[in-house]
Amino acid sequence: MTYNSTPLNTTVNLAFEEHGSGTPVLLLHGFPLNRRIWQEQVNDLSTSAHLILPDLRGHGASPAPEGAYSLDLMAQDVIQLLNRLDIPKAIWVGHSMGGYITMAAWRLAPERFSGMGLVATNHKADTPEAKAKRYETAEKVATEGSKAALNPKLFHPAAPPNAPYIQAAESIMLNTQPTGIMGALQALASRPDSSDTLKSVTVPTVVIGGEGDQLFKPEIPQEMARLVPNAVLTMIDVAGHMPMMETPSALNHALVELINQLA
């Protein structure tokens, strides 16, 4: 397999599932995962909201075209899904890469938002060193396959290594298509700083971080919450980068409060 850096510009039809009824809520997973990470949210939130769980471009059951993705294009994929479902606006909840896509979508189409949830994500662009590492990882995936993208720092440092959710996340990552991983890595590396984007948000917003997140220190969600006008900050003590799997009750409580504002 070769590492293809040709930019793509055509949207794809995303695989997705729906649950419940009420206020539409998009749940956008992180890299290199898929919609299965939100199972505990489906169990708890589908009684009070209409949940839409897409597999983002290159992930899960969605198409994984070969080439370089961009956050704008990935956001357009999701907007196209809302169009297919005849949903004019929704609460966008984005985890990690899903948060980057959420911020990109706000820049493109703020009228499609009724609310926003930013979970274990980051408003800052990659440093030159981080960009170089992403491109290096993409090269490794081209030769070694999806296992080259496994990230051992997704969970709280004190998480039991044999926890079922860790094994589930690893299985998801190993089954993500290499072309999707390489395309998404290029989107992540080229993303812009979103500080001004956050300052422009006008819908109810919750920013959620894990105190034990090994990828984004607590200062990141704290700064994001200061940038968004009237944002609510929720820091979860025993969560790492994957609060939807590690501490689903705490995450669900924060999302229910956001949903209730818009019900």
Q: What would the pLDDT profile of 56-114 be if each residue is shown by its tens digit? A: 999 999 999 999 999 999 999 999 999 999 999 999 999 999 999 999 999 999 999 99
Name the band, by pLDDT with cuts 50, 70 and 90, for residue 135: very high
Mean pLDDT across 154-174: 96
Q: What would the pLDDT profile of 229-246 be if each residue is shown by its tens digit? A: 999 999 999 999 999 999
The tokens of 177 are what? 């298509």
Domain boundaries defined on the chain: 16-262
Q: What would the pLDDT profile of 8-26 be if each residue is shown by its tens digit? A: 999 999 999 999 999 999 9
23-28 and 232-236 strand pairing: unpaired
49-54 and 16-19 strand pairing: antiparallel
Name the band, by pLDDT with cuts 50, 70 and 90, for residue 46: very high
The tokens of 106 are what? 């706000």
Q: What is the DSSP string of 111-173?
A: GGEEEEEEES---SPPPHHHHHHHHHHHHHHHHH-GGGG--TTSS-TTS-TT-HHHHHHHHHH
pLDDT score recorded for residue 210: 98
Separation between Cα atoms, residue 173 and residue 177, nearest integer Å:
9
Name the band, by pLDDT with cuts 50, 70 and 90, for residue 1: confident
Question: Sign of the CA dihedral 52, 172, 239, 110?
Answer: negative
**Model confidence, pTM:** 0.98
C-beta neighbour count of 14 within 10 angstroms: 23
23-28 and 49-54 strand pairing: parallel
249 has a pLDDT exceeding 80? yes
CA atoms within 13 A on the CB side of 192: 11
Question: Sign of the CA dihedral 126, 1, 71, 87?
Answer: negative
Domain 16-262: give its CATH superfamily: Alpha/Beta hydrolase fold, catalytic domain (3.40.50.1820)
Separation between Cα atoms, residue 209 and residue 14, nearest integer Å:
27
263 has a pLDDT exceeding 80? no
